[in-house]
């Protein structure tokens, strides 16, 4: 092969490598966030992520699962950060060294939902634990997510507070699915269910659910959401810098304002921001 031809091929090969490297460099950084079905189903990420990505040039891939699964993904190093709602578990795992930089982000509350006629008369109670005791005494149907989510953890804590082991009791159904599925089954079965308020407000009209709120306002139903990064000392491949960019942004006045203005079609807030910088 003539020298000139070999030189041209070499130059073309070099330019191809340069072009490929430049294309990779132009791609935005990406992080993986394990979060809850409640934040996903509510539509919150649909308004948060475009604003964050525009500001920081970092794409966020969300894996929406129950809180227990989200924390497990973080412990395994399969994601870069978690955005969940089981504060005791979050603080424990951070203390064990699996996560760093945990921050409060926002809150809402849990509510007990039931058939419009409220056959177990839960609306007469003020305590969620007492309401569950009524369900057990009546053998009324109750749909549990049964998926180790933050909502499931809260439900089990309320049963413990009531001094009742629900599994195996008449009417108790564990479905192993997310919040929307649990509400659909509860509607179909004329059953009771525990839900976070955000998901309820987001889906109650769209899904035409035959349910209503039968108990709310118990301080025990407070529902705190937090965010934290996977500890790079445990998982060196974790993208701490990019994860921290998201954590700093969502707890900044800008991120908190977006959460504060995120409402359902009737103007009800789905989450209340409560990071230290909340407006």
277: Cβ–Cβ under 8 A, 6 or more apart, which residues?
A: 251, 252, 253, 256
Residue 58 inside a domain? The answer is yes
Residue 269 inside a domain? The answer is yes
Residue 47: pLDDT over 90: yes
Among 180, 206, 221, residue at a domain's last position = 221
Q: How confident is the model at residue 22 (pLDDT cuts 50, 70, 90)?
A: very low
Residue 228 inside a domain? The answer is yes
What is the per-residue pLDDT for 206? 79
Residue 16 inside a domain? The answer is no
Among 205, 221, 237, residue at a domain's last position = 221
The mean per-residue pLDDT over the stretch 123-149 comes to: 96
> Are 133 and 256 members of one domain?
no
Distances (CA, A) of 255 to 6, 35, 71, 105: 56, 17, 23, 9
Count of residues in the chain: 279
> Are 115 and 158 members of one domain?
yes
User: What is the distance between the alpha carbons of residues 128 and 110, in angstroms, rounded to a whole number?
Assistant: 10
Residue 279 inside a domain? The answer is no
What is the per-residue pLDDT for 11? 43
The mean per-residue pLDDT over the stretch 147-159 comes to: 95
The tally of domains found in the chain comes to: 2
> Are 144 and 52 members of one domain?
no
The mean per-residue pLDDT over the stretch 212-232 comes to: 97
> Are 213 and 246 members of one domain?
no
Of 69, 41, 102, which is closest to residue 271 (Cα–Cα)? Answer: 41
Task: Read off the pLDDT of residues 240-278 as tens digits, 9 standing for 90 and up.
Answer: 999 999 999 999 999 999 999 999 888 999 999 999 876
Of 11 and 116, which is predicted with more confidence?
A: 116
Q: What range does the domain containing 196 cover?
A: 110-221
> Are 149 and 242 members of one domain?
no
Among 197, 221, 245, residue at a domain's last position = 221
Of 223, 74, 107, which is closest to residue 157 (Cα–Cα)? Answer: 223
- State the CATH number of the domain containing residue 60: 3.40.190.10
> Are 104 and 114 members of one domain?
no
Residue 146 inside a domain? The answer is yes
Residue 17 inside a domain? The answer is no
> Are 208 and 118 members of one domain?
yes
> Are 127 and 99 members of one domain?
no
Of 28 and 195, which is predicted with more confidence?
A: 195
Helix (H, G, I), strand (E, B) or coil at 49: helix
> Are 217 and 125 members of one domain?
yes
Residue 53: pLDDT over 50: yes
> Are 86 and 118 members of one domain?
no
> Are 230 and 264 members of one domain?
yes
What is the per-residue pLDDT for 257? 97
Query: What average pLDDT does the chain have?
Result: 91
What is the per-residue pLDDT for 176? 94
Residue 8 inside a domain? The answer is no
Task: Read off the pLDDT of residues 55-114 as tens digits, 9 standing for 90 and up.
Answer: 999 999 999 999 999 999 999 999 999 999 999 999 999 999 999 999 999 999 999 999
> Are 128 and 117 members of one domain?
yes
Please check whether residue 270 is in contact with residue 108, taking contact to mean a CB–CB distance below 8 angstroms. Answer: yes
């Amino acid at each position: 092969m003539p020298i000139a031809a070999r030189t041209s091929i070499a130059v073309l090969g070099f330019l191809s490598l340069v072009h490929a490297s430049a294309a990779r460099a132009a791609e935005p950084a990406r992080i993986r966030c394990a979060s809850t079905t409640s934040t996903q189903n509510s539509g919150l990420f649909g308004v948060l992520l475009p604003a964050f990505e525009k500001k920081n040039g970092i794409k966020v891939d969300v894996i929406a699962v129950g809180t227990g699964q989200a924390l497990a993904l973080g412990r395994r190093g399969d994601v870069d950060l978690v955005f969940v709602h089981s504060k005791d578990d979050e603080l424990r795992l951070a203390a064990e060294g699996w996560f760093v930089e945990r921050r409060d982000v926002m809150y809402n509350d849990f509510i007990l939902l039931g058939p419009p006629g409220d056959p177990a008369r839960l609306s007469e109670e003020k305590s969620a634990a007492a309401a569950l005791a009524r369900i057990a005494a009546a053998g009324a149907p109750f749909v549990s997510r049964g998926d180790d989510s933050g909502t499931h953890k809260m439900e089990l804590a309320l049963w413990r507070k009531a001094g009742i082991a629900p599994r195996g009791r008449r009417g108790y159904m564990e479905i192993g699915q997310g919040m929307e599925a649990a509400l659909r089954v509860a509607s179909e079965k004329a059953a009771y269910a525990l839900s976070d308020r955000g998901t309820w407000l987001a889906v109650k009209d769209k899904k035409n659910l035959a349910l209503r709120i039968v108990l709310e306002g118990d301080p025990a139903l407070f529902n705190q959401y937090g965010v934290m990064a996977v500890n790079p000392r445990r998982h060196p491949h974790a993208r701490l810098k990019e994860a921290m960019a998201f954590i700093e942004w969502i707890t900044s006045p800008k991120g908190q304002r977006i959460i504060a203005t995120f409402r359902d079609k009737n103007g009800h807030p789905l989450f209340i921001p409560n990071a230290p910088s909340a407006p």
